Structures are given as structure tokens and as C-alpha cells.
Structure 1
Amino acid sequence: MTTYYSKDHEWISVEGDTATIGITSYAQEQLGDVVYVELPETGKALSQGDEAAVVESVKAASEVYAPIDGEVVGTNDVLADEPAKVNDDPEGAAWFLKLKIGNAGQFSDLMDQAAYKAYVETL
């Protein structure tokens, strides 16, 4: 399994032709206590950069963007009832959605973990 990161602070973990997407630890730290998560409909087609989900905290609301093209094939419905899970395990159990990969060439637009860590240190 390979994990990539976007400048918008999404992570994307790839297994076969499916990508799991969530927000990074850095993003959830900036948001603070998450109180609401809005997930996309299964079957929705997303293009790279499209709004894929919304996460709201006591401080702010923020969009979660699709780091690649794809079709939504699953969502983490647990987050609708327990949005605070995003604060507990943002890069694990609190994933937002799964996409059937539409354009694998777009992974070249993303960063690996070391590059993302270096990017965050410049913020």
C-alpha cells in the first residue's frame, strides 16, 4: 500500500484500483475539535480538485478535495455519527471516502510522506 499527500492536506492510500482518502494529522490539528462531517454520495464522479467532502470544527469549516479523478465507491458513514473520530485517528480509522481510481497519472501531482513533512514545516 502506497500513501500520497496533497498540498490541501489530504492523504490518499492506494491499494489496487481503489484509493482511500482522508485528512492529515496536520489538517485536523488546524481545525481543532471536529463536530460535523459531510460525505459524498456513492457513485459520484469526482475530478481532481473537486470538493469531495466537508469537515466542520468548532473553529472552522473546511472542504476535503479529491486529490485525483475517480468515482466514489464507499464512504466512512461512522463519521456522520461520530465526527470526533477525525481528531482521534485522522490518518487511519477516520478515512472519509474510497475512490475507484480514474487517472493514475495524477499521483505524480502528489507528495510522498517525506516531501509532505518538509512542506508542512514551511507553513
Structure 2
Amino acid sequence: MRSIYTAVFYTTALSVELIVGQNIGISDSTSTHTQRMESHGYHRYQGSWRTEQEILLLKQAEAVTKKKVEARQRLERLRRDLEKSKSSEQVAEEIQGIDDPFSVLALVTAINTESVAR
């Protein structure tokens, strides 16, 4: 009985190998989907399918946000340094010399929230 099962197994394995072929496997639906999306010009970016233009716009927006945060942090540091008597004149000149367009929002916010004009 065991030899019959063995014979059937090997016969089935041989016939499947002849029909399917050695290097051909069942296609992975994920890779097929990926190939299809990439053929339409989409790329994976932050967990979503996006076009190159969308990716570029998102990266630009991230860079702008990062620069605004850096400008705000720099201004906050300068405002703290302004209270030190040793370097207050130098810091005031540095604040007046700010010409970074990303610092505009931080400067406006600082002016509006400052209780005492310095």
C-alpha cells in the first residue's frame, strides 16, 4: 500500500513539473500589483502609491516645514540670548539682519506675542 502512495506521489510530481516547468512558479499577486503600478508611473512613498510629481511636491513641502521649524528655533534661541547683557547688542543686530524668508512667520509670531517691546 505504501508503495502505491509513493508511486502516485512521484508520478504526480513528475507530471506537475512537466506541465509547469522547473523555474516557473505561481505568480505572486503582490509583485504583479507592484509591477502594474510602476508601469503606470506610480512609486511607493511613505506607505502610499504616488506619482513622481506628488513625491516631489511632498518632499518640497517637508523641506519648507523643516526650514520654518529651524527658523523658529533659531529665533527663540536668539530671543533667550537677548536677555543676556553681554551679548544683547550683538544678538539684536543678528535679529535685525535676518533675511531668511522662512523666518517671516516666526518673526511675526514673536512680535505679536511679545509682551514688552525690546
Structure 1 length as normaliser, TM-score?
0.20
More helix per residue: 1 or 2?
A: 2
Q: Who wins on radius of gyration, i.e. which is larger?
A: 2
Structure 2 length as normaliser, TM-score?
0.20
